[in-house]
Amino acid sequence: MSALLAGDTALVTGAASGIGHAILAALAMEGARVVGTDVDAKRGESVAQELARAGHDVRFVQADLALHDGAHALIGRVAAEVGPVSVFVHSASPPRREADTLFAVDDMTWNRMIDVNLRAGFVLARELSREMIARTIRGRMLFITSLHADSPRNLPHYSAAKAGQTMLMQELARALGPHGIRVNAIAPGAIPGGGFDAKAAGLERLARCTSLRRLGTPAEIAGMAVALLADRFSAYVTGTTVVVDGGIALHNWIEPPET
């Protein structure tokens, strides 16, 4: 049986660490030609080189999606270096601090969170979908959102950005569906790595508040990403958010009872 994404060209944001890194690797192992992007050039180049040495078609392009023209510049470089993209995964998100609550989060932190998650996600999806439609590519897009897209987290900039992403995903799915382009999201639970500091959030406490009694891994999110992006499994799935959280949303995990 052929690889699930053979013949696809994928763009993955936030690819230097955490969930984005895991998705980058999973898409490459399923036969896609993959471009990873991240603000962290050193780690991003290292990730791409490691996968390339293993025989996968992976390259890295540095981009700061918080900059006003960051997303447009990235689109231009990807078009020049690899051509049309058929798979887009938006996993980039600035690191968040548990201390960035309502009266602590400053304007710059708010703007960067919204810009990277929402504005850049919109610009990239809009420009990539224009090319997909022009070339009649049956594209697929995936946003990495959060349980806090619809559940307060006491981190207003993060929750607002992820809520906006969810609605953006649904708007894109509705508009692009007639062109054969599918758009979905994954809402991860407590997944250490990348922007989530499990130690600061209380690793043992979080594990106790998860039905499976453990935290998840980036690879477990990447597995679901492959399933949603592969037409073999999800050709009739669009406009939906798949929760991958080990059952943590079933519990009052933000302020759990003492045990």
Contact 60, 48 (CB under 8 A): yes
pLDDT of 257: 44
CA angle at 26 for the pair 165 and 248, rounded to the nearest 5°? 55
- Helix (H), strand (E) counts: the chain: 10, 7
pLDDT digits (tens, 9 = 90+) for 157-188: 999 999 999 999 999 999 999 999 999 999 99
Give the DSSP per-residue string, 52-103: HHTT--EEEEE--TTSTTHHHHHHHHHHHHT---SEEEE-------TT--TT
Residue 257 burial (10 A CB sphere; 0-12, 13-18, 19+): exposed
Contact 193, 17 (CB under 8 A): yes
Confidence of residue 208 (pLDDT cuts 50, 70, 90): confident
Mean pLDDT of 66-88: 96
Contact 18, 42 (CB under 8 A): no
Mean pLDDT of 98-104: 88
Supply 233's token pair.
Answer: 């499994």
Name all domains of the chain by residue range, CATH numbers in brackets.
9-250 (3.40.50.720)
HSE-CB at 129 with a 13 A cutoff on CA atoms is: 24
Q: Rounded mean pLDDT of the chain?
A: 92
Phi and psi of 74, rounded to 5°?
Answer: -65, -45
Within 10 angstroms of residue 253's Cβ, the number of other Cβ atoms is 22
Confidence of residue 259 (pLDDT cuts 50, 70, 90): very low
pLDDT of 256: 44
SS3 call for 165: helix
Q: How far is CA 169 from CA 78, 155, 184, in A?
A: 22, 21, 6
d(CA 251, CA 206) in angstroms, rounded, equals: 10
Within 10 angstroms of residue 77's Cβ, the number of other Cβ atoms is 14
Q: Which helix (H) or strand (E) holds 226?
A: helix 218-229
Residues recognised as catalytic: 158
Whole-model pTM? 0.94
Contact 120, 70 (CB under 8 A): yes
